[in-house]
Structure 1
């Protein structure tokens, strides 16, 4: 193979003891693991706090608490109605299993579609069987549901309202220990 020769230029005269080699390569900075972990923890805390505050703001539960729930039995001026357009959440807070299913059967028998009624267990016991509704205009429907399940009070409060059902088309029944302590063995229809 023929050896080609190129004319000399200024790069042929680079001294061997120069600090830089190539195109200005610098050594990598030393990583400090403690600092990396600290910044990661701070970033995670900020993301968590922003997520909590954002969730509270989106669901409307951010800010000072309101005056509290308005507890009232069906008032004489309200005529209870059976409005089956509501979804019904039934929480068993009696301490006895099977009460939510019995209440669901009574609600379905009153005209609700089985898919619109969700029974479940509460995390603790509650003394009074109560129907919760989220909008003041729904008081008559809550009173009608209270008659079906044997509730002794209805409460205007959105604490059980789901974020996906923001329009308030849900009634929540919390079955209390008064339901099993009373002489009536099950919710009436």
Structure 2
């Protein structure tokens, strides 16, 4: 048999270690851990999104919200004026039936025409205190006059009920609260301050 001749590669020392690239999984990447972290982050983002949405829709108030009472005693410079040219919407925000008819009778006795006074005997929420709502600042004196007629109840500016006016005439909204119900004062749980009609 022929012997191969020696060359320079025969003199390279042989090493005992590994030669070449060896790839293996990274020990810290566990599929279950990644899934749990992803679920936790998604949950935090969803909760934050719901909270921001509620704040933007004024469903919750971050700083307690300011009450804007506007009765004749609490509004300096306001002049209560009974104006029977206004349409009046009456909303019963109590569980007791028949209160709309009582308030309507008071207004008719005070000089309102029957086609300018109408109401709804039922609301989706209870309301703690009877309040007269008006939309524009120009309606304030008429709202205060109506509030005095009803027993010096609150008057408050709000456009919440503006969409319920289907005419071009100005309209006031009376929301009957638990303070006018025969059942007495509101319960310890404070009802909402703006009931839906």
SS of equivalent to 2:118: strand
Counterparts of 1:82 and 1:146, CA distance in 2: 9
The answer (yes or no) to whether the contact 1:81–1:140 under 8 Å persists in 2 is yes
TM-score (norm 1): 0.56
The answer (yes or no) to whether the contact 1:92–1:176 under 8 Å persists in 2 is yes
Cα 1:68–1:168 change in 2 (3 A) is farther
Alignment match, 1:78: 78
SS of equivalent to 1:158: coil
SS of equivalent to 2:160: coil
Counterparts of 2:169 and 2:132, CA distance in 1: 14
Structure 1 residues 110-149: Cα deviation after superposition (integer angstroms, max 9, x where no partner): 1110111012122221001000000011111001111122
Alignment match, 2:170: 169
The answer (yes or no) to whether the contact 1:90–1:175 under 8 Å persists in 2 is yes
Mean Cα deviation higher: 77-86 or 96-105: 77-86
Q: What residue ranges of structure 1 are gaps of 5+ in the alignment?
A: 1-62, 183-189
Counterparts of 1:68 and 1:166, CA distance in 2: 31
Counterparts of 2:88 and 2:161, CA distance in 1: 11
TM-score (norm 2): 0.54
Q: What residue ranges of structure 2 are gaps of 5+ in the alignment?
A: 1-55, 59-64, 186-197
Alignment of 1:23-172 (within 5 A): 70-74=68-72, 75-120=75-120, 121-150=122-151, 152-162=153-163, 165=166, 169-172=170-173
Larger C-alpha radius of gyration, 1 or 2? 2
Alignment match, 1:55: none
Counterparts of 2:166 and 2:110, CA distance in 1: 23
Counterparts of 1:149 and 1:164, CA distance in 2: 21
Mean Cα deviation higher: 75-84 or 106-115: 75-84
The answer (yes or no) to whether the contact 1:131–1:146 under 8 Å persists in 2 is yes
